[in-house]
Each structure stands twice: as structure tokens, then as C-alpha cells.
Amino acid sequence: MFEILFKDDELVGINKPAGMLVHRSNIDKHETRFVLQELRNQLGQHVFPVHRLDKPTSGVLLFALNSDCARQLSEQFTANQIDKRYWLVCRGHTPEKGEIDYALVPKNDFKSRDGKPEVKKPAQEARTLYSSKAHYELDESVDKYPTSRYSWVEAQLVTGRKHQLRRHFKHIAHPIVGDSRYGKASHNQFFERKWACSRMLLHCYSMGFTLPATGQQLHLIAPPDEQFMAALKGLEGYRL
């Protein structure tokens, strides 16, 4: 059962668990559990996806309950009118505040069916704002340095590109812990050994948007899961 953050006659917001695809995809053909299907079964009614979170990302996820609401919410996402804020833990000490303005080439997870080389698409504008919530330093050598540094960060998506936060924090040399694609295996394995944290530490903590039916602003907050909080609690003893 998913944690319901909000529900009315037009939409529902849930706290998506890490490790689940939003809907069926050729990316993971072996998967048998999908948020879309299980939420439909939980509510006993059809739901319309209006955005997505990566499989390893947790947090606020919205679904419309009718096609009109789905269209209006999708328009808000397309126009970057949704206030999306994430918590993440990354390697190294980030600046107290910053902006990452780095265009991203669209990612395609699917191979060409006809075997022809994929046509490279132009880079798209991508902007992320962030602020550091805490810095940590552990007297343990995980990589090539005698100590290991990490940051707990709140990030705000100004644009919404695929894997934007994962790619942006890799770009500034602060990859997200637990990210098997853009992160560093040594740090991912360290968190799993030390705090039994096997997930990517990226969580959509809050989301603000306009209710299509009333025009009122709604702000949803999703608490992180036990693994995420165990990592933060474990790091707390090393806060600078």
C-alpha cells in the first residue's frame, strides 16, 4: 500500500518508494511491479500519470484521476510551474548555495530498432538551484583520500530534464551516493556496509502546484524512508 499524501476527486499524491518503476518500460523488462498498476488496484479506479520519478528515486508523485486534470497538470510540469524540491546526499562538500546551469543532451534508454546510429539531439537548457543543509567528514578512507566527505543538500529543479539532478551533481564533481549510473561504486558500497543503505539517496521531499479545479496552491511533503533516514542519522555524528 502506498502512503497517500493527498487525494480529492481529481488527483492523488503518493510517497513513491525507491526501486519501483512508475509504469511498464522496456528499460527493465523483468520488472513485475509498477506504481501505476498497484495504485490503480489500491484505489479501485483508473489513474493518469502526469510526470515521473526515476526507478531509484523516492518521494512525491502525482497522478490525475481524469483526463482533463491530467492535461492541466502536465501543462504545469511542461511550463516548469511546479515547485519541486529534493533531498540528496552527495560525495564531497558542496558550497553553501549554488546554481548549476548546464545544458543536457536528451538521454535515450532504448536502442534503435533498425540498427541505425542514434541521431544526437541538441542539448537542452537545464538549471538546478541548491543549498547545503549539512557537511560531514568521516575519519575513514573510502576513495583515494584519508577521510571521506559528504553533503546533505536540498535541490530545486528549475527545469525538468531526464536524470537532471543525477547528471548535474556528477557534473560539479559531487555525485549522488547510491547512484549506480552516475555515482561512484566505492562510496555506494561504503554506505551499504556501514548503514545498510542500498538505495540511491535522492528523494523528492516536497512539491507545490496549482489545483486545476480550484486554482488554489497545494504543497505536499513526503517523509524519506527508513534507509534514507538511517544514512542521515548515521552521518549526524560526523557533522562539521
238 membership: H or E segment, kind and range = none
Query: Within a 13 Å sphere around the CA of 164, how many CA atoms are in the beta-carbon half?
Result: 27
Per 3-state DSSP, the chain is made up of helix, strand and coil in percentages (nearest 5) of: 20, 30, 45
Q: Is 153 exposed, middle or buried (0-12, 13-18, 19+ CB in 10 A)?
A: buried
- Let me know if 54 is a catalytic residue: yes
Separation between Cα atoms, residue 12 and residue 222, nearest integer Å: 13
- CA–CA distances in Å: residue 120 to residues 95, 109, 166: 33, 13, 20
Catalytic one among 54, 101, 114, 143? 54
Separation between Cα atoms, residue 39 and residue 22, nearest integer Å: 10
The DSSP string of 130-168 is EEEEEEEEESS-SSSSSSEEEEEEEEEESS--TTHHHHH
Provide the grid cell at 236.
549526524
194: amino acid identity, one letter: K
Q: Which residues are catalytic?
A: 54
